């Protein structure tokens, strides 16, 4: 029996014995309008203040998103934020590609990740952990870890991290705080985490 397993863009096919039992997951119904669901979730957070009430016109907003190595609905999230921050200037909505120590996301990859609406209405910042002029040293933690982060991220008035939580093969779990460190940290910080 030939089986397809999701992997990369095309998937992988392999043969298994015909007498094998196959367990399939119960797939959830796809959302008919993901953008509306994202907006509803942002407008109705659990035990938190709605994002709209934190934003004031003229604020510089930074949004940290996964780089090209992670599957994430970045475009849908940013389109939702464009609706929430309706009228925000392109230079006031910065999308930070949280590369950590990975290579830079290419322009071609950016066009695969984001549609033209996101690209033309936001400023996309591809983080580089090794360009010291783009980093700011904020000091040292009690455990002697240098805190070096992206200067533009630090300058944002409102900071939003996106992502999802999944096991990481050597760094615990992805998402959450990792969207800042290591995602937007300098290499000296990353190597000491």
d(CA 57, CA 85): 8
Whether 102 is a known active-site residue: answer yes
Token pair, residue 73, equals 């609905």
One DSSP character per residue, 144-162 reads --EEEEEHHHHH-SEEEE-
**Active-site position among 27, 68, 127, 168:** 168
Token pair, residue 170, equals 């050597």
One DSSP character per residue, 24-38 reads ---PPPPPS-HHHHH
d(CA 65, CA 72): 8
Whether 127 is a known active-site residue: answer no
What's the N-to-C CA distance of the chain in angstroms? 46
Catalytically active residues, by annotation: 102, 168
């Amino acid at each position: 029996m030939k089986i397809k397993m999701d992997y990369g863009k095309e998937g992988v096919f392999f043969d298994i014995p015909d007498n094998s039992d196959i367990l399939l997951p119960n797939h959830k119904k796809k959302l008919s309008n993901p953008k509306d669901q994202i907006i509803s979730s942002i407008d109705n957070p659990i035990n938190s203040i709605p994002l709209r009430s934190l934003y004031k016109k003229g604020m510089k907003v930074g949004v940290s998103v996964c780089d090209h190595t992670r599957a994430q609905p970045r475009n849908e999230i940013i389109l939702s934020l464009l609706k929430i921050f309706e009228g925000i200037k392109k230079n006031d909505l910065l999308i930070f590609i949280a590369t950590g120590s990975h290579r830079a996301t290419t322009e071609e990859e950016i066009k695969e990740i984001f549609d033209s609406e996101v690209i033309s209405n936001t400023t996309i910042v591809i983080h580089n952990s090794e360009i010291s002029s783009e980093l700011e040293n904020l000091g040292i933690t009690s455990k002697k870890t240098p805190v070096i982060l992206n200067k533009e991220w630090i300058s944002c008035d409102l900071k939003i991290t996106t992502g999802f939580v999944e096991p990481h093969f050597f760094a615990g779990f992805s998402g959450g705080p990792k969207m800042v460190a290591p995602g937007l940290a300098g290499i000296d910080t990353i190597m000491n985490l």
